[in-house]
């Protein structure tokens, strides 16, 4: 019996040792995380910043994409808070766009092998030229030796109505530009592992999301659709629909409505390493003190499947 016990322990240990390394990617709109005023946007209150940190610590991401972060001083302040709390994400990227008040950024445990910021893209809409509201972030990372990822991050045009263009049309045009960058990367490196993260400010059936996902293309993206870990397990009642699990990521106070505006999309190569069971939306008391959005997280195995 004693020999049997040690044999079982050996096999259990060997199984654990054989497990591939894993890493977590999260995206989080931190709602005007500013430590100094900018334009009409004021400093984010201390108690709200504390809640943002608490939400991130709950996830413990290895790669963190941020929307609505302030200038680099705000990013560094958040980075330092996380480090003091035990989460060290030393590598970073911060990009600008037409909006000079809020930005897209990234914090990472892994070094950035390459940076390809897209900060001055523009498009024509009804005879008028527009620049993208925020820049598109593009970086290459190597979570573990031999396993590389290209990550795109974006914050598409908000739902706020403007006088000179229809906001949904602006988002669609921005998504066309982003999809073009994704296709260029795949054409250059057909075996690339692609992650596309961010606040896309629209629903999955919108023109903007249909453009990004490009289901009929040669390189469609897959919507990971993280859900709450609240015990829901029932399958969908309709084959074309997803199960009725809780997926909302944003609260809009004016309408008292909840919606899914934040996404982590992957290409086919990356999908093979995606761990659905490690992907979720955290349930955090008083989450709304930190932001009107909730973070979402996906886990991946860092080995080609």
- What pLDDT does 9 receive? 46
Cα–Cα distance between 260 and 251 in angstroms, integer?
9
Q: What does the block give as tokens for 239?
A: 């084959």
Pick the closest to residue 96 from 123, 72, 79, 114 (CA basis).
72
147 CB-near residues (< 8 Å, 6+ apart): 193, 302, 303, 304
Phi/psi of residue 198, nearest 5 degrees: 150, -175
Phi/psi of residue 152, nearest 5 degrees: -110, 140
- What pLDDT does 17 receive? 54
Q: What does the block give as tokens for 94?
A: 């911060």
- What pLDDT does 156 receive? 97
Q: For residues 182 and 268, is the Cβ–Cβ distance under 8 A?
A: no
220 CB-near residues (< 8 Å, 6+ apart): 213, 214, 267, 268
Query: Which pTM was predicted?
Result: 0.92
Cα–Cα distance between 148 and 140 in angstroms, integer?
7
Q: Dump pLDDT digits (tens) for 122-179.
A: 999 988 999 999 999 999 999 999 999 999 999 999 988 877 789 999 999 999 999 9
Per-residue pLDDT of the chain (305 residues; tens, 9 = 90+): 445 444 444 444 444 556 889 999 999 999 999 999 998 999 999 999 999 999 999 999 999 999 999 999 999 999 999 999 999 999 999 999 999 999 999 999 999 999 999 999 999 998 899 999 999 999 999 999 999 999 999 999 998 887 778 999 999 999 999 999 999 999 999 999 999 999 999 999 999 999 999 999 999 999 999 999 999 999 998 888 899 999 999 999 999 999 999 999 999 999 999 999 999 999 999 999 999 999 999 999 999 88
- What pLDDT does 72 receive? 97
**21-226+241-301 belongs to CATH 2.40.128.20:** no
- What pLDDT does 5 receive? 43
- What pLDDT does 159 receive? 85
- What pLDDT does 239 receive? 84
Domain range list for the chain: 21-226+241-301
- What pLDDT does 160 receive? 84
Pick the closest to residue 170 from 215, 213, 207 (CA basis).
207
- What pLDDT does 3 receive? 53
């Amino acid at each position: 019996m004693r020999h049997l016990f040690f044999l079982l322990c050996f096999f259990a240990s060997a199984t654990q040792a054989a497990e591939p390394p894993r890493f977590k990617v999260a995206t989080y709109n931190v709602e005007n995380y500013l430590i100094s005023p900018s334009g009409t946007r004021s400093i984010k209150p201390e108690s709200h910043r504390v809640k943002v940190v608490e939400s991130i610590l709950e996830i413990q991401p290895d790669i963190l994409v941020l929307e609505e972060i302030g200038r680099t001083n705000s990013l560094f302040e958040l980075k330092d808070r996380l480090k003091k709390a035990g989460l060290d994400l030393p590598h970073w990227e911060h990009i600008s766009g037409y909006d000079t008040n809020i930005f897209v950024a990234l914090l990472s445990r892994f070094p950035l092998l390459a940076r390809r910021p897209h900060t001055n893209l523009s498009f024509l809409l009804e005879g008028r030229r527009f620049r993208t509201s925020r820049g598109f972030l593009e970086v290459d990372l190597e979570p573990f030796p031999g396993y590389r990822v290209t990550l795109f991050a974006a914050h598409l045009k908000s739902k706020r109505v403007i006088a000179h263009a229809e906001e949904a049309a602006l988002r669609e045009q921005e998504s066309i530009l982003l999809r073009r960058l994704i296709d260029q990367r795949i054409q250059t490196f057909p075996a690339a592992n692609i992650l596309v993260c961010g606040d896309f400010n629209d629903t999955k059936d919108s023109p903007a999301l249909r453009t990004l996902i490009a289901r009929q293309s040669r390189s469609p993206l897959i919507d990971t659709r993280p859900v709450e870990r609240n015990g829901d397990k029932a399958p969908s009642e309709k084959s074309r629909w997803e199960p009725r699990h809780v997926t909302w990521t944003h609260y809009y106070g004016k309408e008292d409505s909840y919606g899914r505006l934040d996404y982590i999309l992957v290409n086919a190569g990356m999908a093979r390493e995606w761990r659905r069971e490690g992907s979720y939306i955290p349930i955090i008391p008083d989450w709304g003190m930190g932001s009107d959005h909730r973070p979402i997280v996906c886990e991946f195995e860092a080995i080609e499947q």
